[in-house]
Each structure stands twice: as structure tokens, then as C-alpha cells.
Amino acid sequence: MSTQLAPEAPAETRLKIIDCDIHPLLRNPRDIRAYLSPVWHEHFDIYGNGLRQPFAAGDLYPKAAPYISRRDAWPPSGGPPGSDLDFMRQQHLDPMNVEFGILQVLAPTGANQRNLDFGAALCSAVNDWQLAEWMDREPRLRGSLTVPQDFPEAAVAEVRRHGRSGKFAQVSVTQRTLEPIGRRRFWPIFAAAVEHGLPLGIHSGGNAGHPIVPGGGWGSFYAEQHQAIGFAMQAIVTSFVMEGVFEEFPELKVVLIEGGFGWLPALTWRLDRLWERMRSEVPRLRRPPSEYIHEHIWLTTQPMDETEKPRQLRQLFDWVGWDRLLFSSDYPHWDQDDPRWAFPFRMSEAERQQLFRGNAAALFGLGEG
């Protein structure tokens, strides 16, 4: 019996989905204060965020919609999209038959704070908030354990604090780091993730002061910033591989979230070619980059690479590997992918199971595998 994505289909024929990117939000930005260590309350009240961007609030590149969100995702209870669990159940978890959903908290961000101590406290608060208001209330949800990557000691402590709770699917660092994520200063975080049996998730976004045209400066438009999520992911994969992170941590699994995947084949081919010529510069590597990439990197599907022809999308899947792609919706954001329509090509029942559920179940240890 083949499974279906249609919400109106009979329950027994409906495909269970693991959604690897759902965005919860505070109802009010000040609500995080209740989870923040009291020693930071005064700092929070007076100074608040200390990010690398010139505006007191908002983004250097204004987004496409308020809260980057779907117009129909505002909960009737008030509050911004993503802030009401009941409405999330009604609008997304139930109709899409989400068996498990993995949360990604984009704001507030502890990981991009310039004040490292405040950043660490904010990461802890965000993790406690996820636990109390989301995972403890909804067994289908799992958190992303957000850590301050620029303060590895605090990051490791945070992994130890929650890493065995079973409520967090992965350790989470920001995409836009001060230095490429493979560099040595970050290795204690990888060791802690491996020790706790957690993948490392990297979700697009953030700002550490490096411009969106790689090596070339600051573009003018949100459209450029939006596509630069893939430019950043290319540098991240390159860094993990060339630093030898996967030689040092053979059990480390990395999940690239909301960065697309269409760029990966060409990058892999490019790295293999360069490695043939320049391997003497990176003696820690013992195998071609493509092998490390295939073994250690997973990618979520949203925002979908929309090829001109459906079979070209299938070709991309074949090149990246069906075992490495994880369905994600990005609910409730403006460019979210609907599982019913985002994959306009034929796939076998086995492929469908892998993409929507099996790969994520195996990677994160969810459900019955």
C-alpha cells in the first residue's frame, strides 16, 4: 500500500513525516527573561542584544514579510507566527502528519552575541524555554541544543547539561561564525556532541561580520543575502573537510539546515580536484573530500532547489545521495515547503519513506528507526 501526503487521506494510508526544521518563537521577546539567569536580568533590561549589526532591532537586510512568516500563520490567540503550540498543531503538525518535528530557535540568538558570557546565558535560557514550553508539552517535538560556539567551554557545559535528556535532537551552532567552523577552537564542541551521541546542526542565518559576497563585500538586497546561505554552507563543508575534522571525529554527523543542497555536487567535485593537486597542504586528510562528505554530511531539503525540469531535481538527489537528504518544512516561514508539492517528480515508495522519515529517524534516533 502506498502512502500519501494528502491530509484528507485515510489515516492508515498517510505518510508519517519527520520535519527537520520548525521555527518556534517567543510570544513576546521579553518572555525569555523568565528563563535567563537572574544575574543577567539587568543587562537584558538595559542593553539587550549585542549583535554585529547596526540597528537596535531588525535586520541589516529587511526581510520579505513580518517575522519572515507566512501571512496565514498568525495564531488567532495573538502573538507572532510560531508562538502558539496549539495553533502549530492545528496548522502544521496534525494536517501534515508530523511524527516528529525538530525545532530551530532563530531569535533570540545566544550564538551570535558579541558578549560571550551573555551569549552563553542566553543559549541556556533558550534551551530551557524550548524544554518547558515545547518539548515538555508536545511529545512530537525535539529541540536543537543551541550553544555559544565562540565560547567552547560554555558550549561544552551546555551540551553536558542537556545532552542526555533525549529531548534535544542535535547540538546547534550558528551558520555565520567568526571563523570557519572546522577550525580547532571549535573541536571541543564536536567532541562533546560525539560523546553525547548527538549530530551537529547548522542552520542558516546569523551575522558575524563577514559579507555576503564571499571575499567581495556587502550586497544590496535581501535576495542576495537569501542566496548567500548556500555560499556560507559551501565554506562550511570545505572547512570541515580540509581541517580534517572527520578524521579526528569519525563519528561526527553534521546536518546543514535551510541551506539548500543543489550546490553540493559541484562543490564536492571541486574539492576532489583541488585535493588531487594540493593534498600536501592538508596532510590530515587520508581520503578524497567526497568520501568524507558522503559519510558525514546530511542536508535538509527546504528551501528546495527548484530545477527547470522535474527530472533535474531527481538528478540532484541522485548526486547528493538519497540517504543524505532530510525533509524540512521551515514552518511557519514565508518560503516554507509543503511536503505535498515540493517534490514534483516520481519517487519510489522506498525513496519517499527515506526522504520524509527514514533518514531522519536513523540519524536522530527517532521513532522505530
Partner 1 sequence: MPSDILAEPETGASATIGCIDCDLHPALPGLKALLPYLSDYWREQITMRGIDAMDLALYAPRHPLSARPDWRLPDGRKPGTDLGALQRDALDAFGIDLAICNVLYGAQIVMNQHFGAALCTAINDWLAAEWLDADKRLRGSIVVPMQDPEKAVEEIERRANDRRFVQVLLPSAADMPLGRRPYWPIYAAAEKYGLPVGIHAARTDRFAPTCVGWPSYLIEDHAALAANMQGQLLSLLCEGVFSQHPKLKVVLLESGVTWLPSFMWRADTTWRALRMEMPWVDRSPIEIVREHVRVTVQPLDAPALARDGRDPLPAILEQLGAPEMLLFATDYPHWQFEGDAALPSGLPADFVRRIKSENPLATYPRLKEAVA
Site for partner 1 in 111-170 (CB under 8 A): none
Choose between 51 and 141: whose C-beta lies nearer to partner 1.
51
CB of 336 to partner 1, least distance (A): 12
The residue within the footprint of partner 1, chosen from 38, 42, 220, 369 (CB under 8 A), is 220
Beta carbons of 294 and 28 less than 8 angstroms apart: no
Q: Interface mask (CB under 8 A) for partner 1, residues 178-217, using x and -?
A: xxxxxx------------------------x-xxxxxxxx
The residue within the footprint of partner 1, chosen from 275, 292, 298, 331 (CB under 8 A), is 275
Beta carbons of 290 and 241 less than 8 angstroms apart: no
Choose between 21 and 150: whose C-beta lies nearer to partner 1.
150
Q: CA-CA distance, 158 to 165, in Å (whole number)?
A: 12
Rg over alpha carbons for the chain, rounded to the nearest Å, is: 20
Question: What residues from 225 to 244 belong to the interface with partner 1 (CB under 8 A)?
Answer: 226-228, 230-232, 234-236, 238-239, 242-243
Closest CA to 264 of 333, 201, 315, 209: 315
CB of 193 to partner 1, least distance (A): 19
Handedness of CA 282, 182, 157, 363 (dihedral sign): negative
List, edge to edge, every strand of the sheet that includes 297-300.
Answer: 17-22, 98-103, 141-146, 168-174, 200-203, 254-257, 297-300, 325-326
The residue within the footprint of partner 1, chosen from 48, 188, 321, 367 (CB under 8 A), is 321
Q: CA-CA distance, 125 to 138, in Å (whole number)?
A: 19
241's grid cell: 573537510
CB of 345 to partner 1, least distance (A): 14
Beta carbons of 161 and 124 less than 8 angstroms apart: yes
CB of 38 to partner 1, least distance (A): 34
Told to check if 270 binds partner 1 by CB under 8 A, we report yes
Choose between 108 and 289: whose C-beta lies nearer to partner 1.
289
Q: Interface mask (CB under 8 A) for partner 1, residues 7-46, using x and -?
A: ----------------------------------------
Q: Interface mask (CB under 8 A) for partner 1, residues 285-304, using x and -?
A: -----x---x--------xx
Interacting span for partner 1 (CB under 8 A) from 90-98, 119-127, 154-162, 265-273: 265-273
Choose between 29 and 262: whose C-beta lies nearer to partner 1.
262
CB of 171 to partner 1, least distance (A): 18
Choose between 53 and 227: whose C-beta lies nearer to partner 1.
227
CB of 52 to partner 1, least distance (A): 12
Question: What residues from 44 to 73 belong to the interface with partner 1 (CB under 8 A)?
Answer: 64
Interacting span for partner 1 (CB under 8 A) from 35-43, 153-161, 245-253, 310-318: 310-318
Strand partners, 257: 203
CB of 14 to partner 1, least distance (A): 28
Beta carbons of 356 and 15 less than 8 angstroms apart: yes
Pairs from 231-235 (Cβ < 8 Å, separation ≥ 24): 232/175, 232/176, 232/204, 232/259, 233/175, 233/202, 233/204, 233/259, 233/260, 233/263, 234/263, 234/267, 235/180
Strand partners, 14: 4
237's grid cell: 563543508
Count of residues for the chain?
A: 369
Told to check if 282 binds partner 1 by CB under 8 A, we report yes
At residue 47, what are phi and psi to the nearest 5 degrees?
A: -105, -35
